[in-house]
Structure 1
Amino acid sequence: MRPSGVGTALRKLLGASAVYGLGSVLVRGLAFLLLPLYTRYLSPAEYGLVALTVTCTVVLGMLYPLGLRGAISRTYYESGTVEERKERVGTLWIAMVLSATLMALVFDRVGPALAAALLPDVPFHPYLRLAVWTAFLGVLGLAPLVLLQARERALAFVLLTLGAALSTTAIIVWLVVRGGGARGYLQGALIGAALAAVPYIALTLREIRPVFRLSILMPALAFSLPLVPHALAGWALEMSDRAILTRFLPLHDVGIYSIGYQLGAAMGLVTTAFNAAWVPFLFGTLKEEGEAAHPKVARLVTYFAMALCFLGLGWSLLVEHAIIIIAAPEYRDAYRITPWVVGAYVFGGLYLVPTNLLFWRRRTRVIPLVTVVAGAANIGLNLWLVPRYGAIAAAWATLAAYGMLLVLTWWSAERLHPFPYEYRRLGLMAGLALALFLTGTFLPFPSTTLEVGGRVLLWLAFPFGLVLLGTIDRTELAVLARLLRGRTERPAEQTGTIR
């Protein structure tokens, strides 16, 4: 089989990423559109309470399935027949549900003591108890979503997740507007998860044979269990900043920090969409072409980094003025948090590249070790800096921790098997983005209008700067422009610029 060129591969990857990205934009965009409503009906203290509880839901959702979500994806590609795949996925799904049930019951029992020790400002009942069972319901939808991704059925994946998000959001808004406060928000999330579980279970039962075989489960656990410490360390990366903030600052400040963090986490739209399309593309390409595909994959990584730098630069420059429209006046200072979180999410997006290579090579044991180190660094930096500098220090710590996560994961993957990244291009585009951001941040402007206009120009200068630095040539820009417009020509493959 003749390996496809970078232009063809990029066209395929962009098509899937566009669908996944549209779904992510709609789901998270809905949350952004509702920020004015939430900031009107929820005080900063209530929003801080919601943010802490939702973070607990996410962390529990990582713990419950024992890392078997990733094993399902791998199983799809390794199964020889449809019947074998149904048995394997059935075993893994049953194991995830049993594990989630047991853990939820345990946390429901010991939760009050844990909450008093770890989050003294957040009552276990009703807030954290709602998190325990919302996370449990979320596990029920993992298998069908993973299978849709593995089959590269991006549209079905997006429609399913978007439907669940819309119904959940509608319930949350109704309860919050009726004066439910933080409790109403979290109750709405639980009800929405319960409604979404019904079609998820129905779809799962169509795709599995409900058997439970230890001969299938044990090798899968050998692959996935090393990821459980990774999930625990994920708690340190995702939640420790807000948990530590509650020990030194009031919930009011936690709420403002959480809004700034959420605005910065908009970069997750890009990384989530990319990774959802990237995993099946990468695994399928490496299976078909082997190491011959490495230069092509490395070029696509460069384009991904370019997109992250461009979008992250624009949002970091403009968020100070965008927040005036997005949030209520008492939340305005949240913009100071956002650029640091944007940088962290850029690092987090790039981290996915060596991580997926480690997944492919079945070297997952190194992933939790690296995450533990980065998570511990985040906790340590928060404990050291937050008492001295306040909430902004938590954002600094987040950036540093995700940077450490990227560097250590890259180093671990390279030590096991070097990969031909385009280091010069990556370094130049990162340096250019940083220089433009610092210019826009510290350059004095005589008026708000000129400041907004100047920052927009600095943002749009990024691709032109790449051309001037020789980081990307005009032919590549033309190819990318045609791909983004959906044209079918293949000038890159004709000219040989992108191979």
Structure 2
Amino acid sequence: MLKQLARDGSIYAAGTIASRGIALLTVPVYTRFLDPENFGALDLILTSGVLVTLVVALEVGQGLAREWATLPNPEAKRRMAGTALCFTTLMHGAFLALALSFSESLSEILYDTPDRSSLVQAGLAYIAWNALYLQLQAQFRWSMRPLSYVSTSILYSLLTLVLGYSLGRKWGATGVLAGQMLAAASAVGVSIWALRTQFDWALDLKHLRSMLAYSLPLAPAGLATFTSFHINRFILNAYANLDQVGYYAVASRAAAVTALLTVGVQTALTPLVYRYHAAPATPRQLVRLLEGFITVALVLSLGLSLYAQELILWISGPAYLPSSVLVAWLVPATLLSQMYVFFPGLALARRTMTQLSITVLTGLVALSLNLILIPIAQGQGAAISTLIAAALYLAVWVQASQQSYRLPIRLGRVVLALLAYLVFLGMGFIMKFIELDRSLLLVFNFGLLISMYIVCNLMGLFRYRSNAEPRS
């Protein structure tokens, strides 16, 4: 499994670094002509799109992912893939038609004014096309076609940057969304052509029932996940203003730079785990990957937290500098939220109700924390709530997953590395209050990063023989 993961993961990683690197460029590009208020308005639409994508198609793509490896022949796979795509198209088409007729009401709900209805309309069109694009991108993964996945994602990112900038300069946030909608529609057309032999245009009710039997409990789970990690934007808008939403949005995108180094492995991992989970060596191999991920995550989180001001100034300019205080909370939250993929026990055992229970619990805790902390600390309260929710989600998920598919995790070493991270992070923030020359402070912070890597190496998290049995 590791050889195929290394091959596919390297392709996914290279493509993702390129595509998401281009996507990251949209932040410095858009923030040059959108002030924090309008960037916050744009982010509310994009965040709403996450919710719509999660619930409208009832997570049928997750059902396809789980059933794909069990199908007996290519014909059955084509029919199930076509069923998933047709169902997604029908559901999002119906939702788009309904929502467009209420665009002024939706504008009042989001922005307390009907004057942004054109922004809502452009956003609704983008959300529908983007949902189809995501379904097709997933199909590239299940078909083990990483090169096609990477090519279309880079095309989408380039078109998003170019069209979003071109139209955004003329029409602001509405133009940005119109450009992104055109980019998504173009990527959908290219993907359908590339996958034309991978699915049949048919709605097979038997396959649909099979997929929905797995995915239906995941739809409310998706809603709970949204509450955990995205509802804070709407609470921020209610208790503060769109400027605060804009600051938080920029900080979350700065934290998302972590995906450039981690998502390649993650994208390739899930289909391979479904295929090779019964192999005796797979649990040890997953632990190797997990410990390597932890090392990268700790060093990356420490670096982005210590250099947050420089990062925000580079990607968005001085108008968004208040975002820098949020980065130290959102970077580890982002990384923690990605780590569940290393613990596949719940998916392998089809324990969707357990997944639902975990996400509902986390969502309720996150909602409560946001309602308490945002009125007190605004954006920082939202960031702290996100970190706590991410840590809780991962902790409960790991405990439940280990009951179904046990991994030999060396917990003691991981805990020691986390303690070292907190010490180095504290040292870095203490040094900020000492009047050192800026260049000396940057060098000191770099020394902390090297120290973090050395600690992980000494703990054995980053290296040990592939045939060694991990010990706690």
Structure-2-length-normalised TM-score? 0.92
| Pair 1:47 & 2:36 matched | no
In the alignment, which residue of structure 2 is the partner of 1:275? 266
Taking a change above 3 Å as real, the CA distance of residues 271 and 111 of structure 1, as seen in their structure-2 partners, is: farther
In the alignment, which residue of structure 2 is the partner of 1:381? 369
Contact in 2 for aligned 1:101/1:136 (Cα 8 Å):
yes
Shift of 1:243: 0.5
Contact in 2 for aligned 1:301/1:353 (Cα 8 Å):
yes
Shift of 1:114: 4.8
The one of 195, 198, 217 equivalent to 2:186 is 195
Q: Secondary structure at the match of 1:140?
A: helix
Contact in 2 for aligned 1:52/1:239 (Cα 8 Å):
no
Shift of 1:229: 0.4
Counting aligned pairs with the same residue, the percent is 23
Query: Residue 340 of structure 1 aligns to which amino acid in structure 2?
Result: W
| Pair 1:337 & 2:326 matched | yes
In the alignment, which residue of structure 2 is the partner of 1:293? 282
In the alignment, which residue of structure 1 is the partner of 2:77? 85
Shift of 1:209: 2.2
- How far, CA to CA, are the matches of 1:304 and 1:144 in structure 2? 27
- How far, CA to CA, are the matches of 2:100 and 2:152 in structure 1? 29
| Pair 1:460 & 2:445 matched | no
In the alignment, which residue of structure 1 is the partner of 2:292? 303
1:251-281 per-position Cα deviation (integer Å, ceiling 9, x unaligned): 1222122111211122233443222111122
Query: Residue 299 of structure 1 aligns to which amino acid in structure 2?
Result: R
Q: Secondary structure at the match of 1:337?
A: helix
Divergent runs of 4+, >6 A: none
In the alignment, which residue of structure 1 is the partner of 2:401? 413
| Pair 1:60 & 2:52 matched | yes
In the alignment, which residue of structure 1 is the partner of 2:360? 372
In the alignment, which residue of structure 2 is the partner of 1:234? 225
| Range that drifts further, 190-199 or 395-404 | 190-199
In the alignment, which residue of structure 2 is the partner of 1:488? none
Shift of 1:452: 0.8
Contact in 2 for aligned 1:445/1:451 (Cα 8 Å):
no
Alignment of 1:387-406 (within 5 A): 387-406=375-394
Shift of 1:386: 1.2
Taking a change above 3 Å as real, the CA distance of residues 370 and 111 of structure 1, as seen in their structure-2 partners, is: farther
| Pair 1:349 & 2:334 matched | no
Shift of 1:77: 0.8
The one of 215, 220, 227 equivalent to 2:211 is 220
Shift of 1:128: 2.2
Q: Secondary structure at the match of 1:40?
A: coil
Q: Secondary structure at the match of 2:250?
A: helix
Shift of 1:176: 2.2
Query: Residue 250 of structure 2 aligns to which amino acid in structure 1?
Result: I
| Pair 1:13 & 2:5 matched | yes
Taking a change above 3 Å as real, the CA distance of residues 114 and 327 of structure 1, as seen in their structure-2 partners, is: closer
- How far, CA to CA, are the matches of 2:248 and 2:132 in structure 1? 31
- How far, CA to CA, are the matches of 2:322 and 2:227 in structure 1? 25
- How far, CA to CA, are the matches of 2:469 and 2:407 in structure 1? 21
Query: Residue 148 of structure 1 aligns to which amino acid in structure 2?
Result: F
Contact in 2 for aligned 1:433/1:462 (Cα 8 Å):
yes
- How far, CA to CA, are the matches of 1:149 and 1:20 in structure 2? 10
In the alignment, which residue of structure 2 is the partner of 1:435? 423
In the alignment, which residue of structure 1 is the partner of 2:157? 165
| Range that drifts further, 239-248 or 416-425 | 416-425
1:403-427 per-position Cα deviation (integer Å, ceiling 9, x unaligned): 1111121222234454322212221
Taking a change above 3 Å as real, the CA distance of residues 430 and 67 of structure 1, as seen in their structure-2 partners, is: same
Return 5+ residue gaps in structure 1 as ranges. 477-491
Aligned length: 469
Taking a change above 3 Å as real, the CA distance of residues 116 and 373 of structure 1, as seen in their structure-2 partners, is: farther
Taking a change above 3 Å as real, the CA distance of residues 462 and 154 of structure 1, as seen in their structure-2 partners, is: same
Contact in 2 for aligned 1:140/1:201 (Cα 8 Å):
no
Taking a change above 3 Å as real, the CA distance of residues 31 and 145 of structure 1, as seen in their structure-2 partners, is: closer
- How far, CA to CA, are the matches of 2:452 and 2:24 in structure 1? 26
Shift of 1:123: 5.3
| Range that drifts further, 200-209 or 88-97 | 200-209
Query: Residue 375 of structure 1 aligns to which amino acid in structure 2?
Result: G
Contact in 1 for aligned 2:20/2:157 (Cα 8 Å):
no
Return 5+ residue gaps in structure 2 as ranges. none
Query: Residue 156 of structure 2 aligns to which amino acid in structure 1?
Result: A
Contact in 2 for aligned 1:119/1:243 (Cα 8 Å):
no
In the alignment, which residue of structure 1 is the partner of 2:97? 105
In the alignment, which residue of structure 2 is the partner of 1:252? 243
1:125-173 per-position Cα deviation (integer Å, ceiling 9, x unaligned): 1122222221211232344322321233222211111112211221111
Contact in 1 for aligned 2:133/2:188 (Cα 8 Å):
yes
In the alignment, which residue of structure 2 is the partner of 1:481? none
Contact in 2 for aligned 1:91/1:217 (Cα 8 Å):
yes
Shift of 1:204: 4.0
- How far, CA to CA, are the matches of 1:238 and 1:308 in structure 2? 19
Shift of 1:238: 3.5
Contact in 2 for aligned 1:309/1:346 (Cα 8 Å):
no
Query: Residue 384 of structure 2 aligns to which amino acid in structure 1?
Result: W
1:455-481 per-position Cα deviation (integer Å, ceiling 9, x unaligned): 01101111212344x4348x64xxxxx
Query: Residue 382 of structure 2 aligns to which amino acid in structure 1?
Result: A
Taking a change above 3 Å as real, the CA distance of residues 128 and 366 of structure 1, as seen in their structure-2 partners, is: farther
- How far, CA to CA, are the matches of 1:384 and 1:208 in structure 2? 48
Contact in 2 for aligned 1:310/1:459 (Cα 8 Å):
yes
- How far, CA to CA, are the matches of 1:320 and 1:172 in structure 2? 26
Query: Residue 27 of structure 1 aligns to which amino acid in structure 2?
Result: S
In the alignment, which residue of structure 2 is the partner of 1:181? 172
Contact in 1 for aligned 2:312/2:321 (Cα 8 Å):
yes
Query: Residue 74 of structure 1 aligns to which amino acid in structure 2?
Result: R
Contact in 1 for aligned 2:25/2:161 (Cα 8 Å):
no
Shift of 1:245: 0.8
In the alignment, which residue of structure 2 is the partner of 1:263? 254
- How far, CA to CA, are the matches of 1:391 and 1:145 in structure 2? 33
Structure-1-length-normalised TM-score? 0.87
Shift of 1:454: 0.6
Taking a change above 3 Å as real, the CA distance of residues 227 and 115 of structure 1, as seen in their structure-2 partners, is: farther
Taking a change above 3 Å as real, the CA distance of residues 270 and 371 of structure 1, as seen in their structure-2 partners, is: farther
Alignment of 1:104-183 (within 5 A): 104-110=96-102, 112-117=104-109, 119-120=111-112, 125-177=117-169, 179-183=170-174
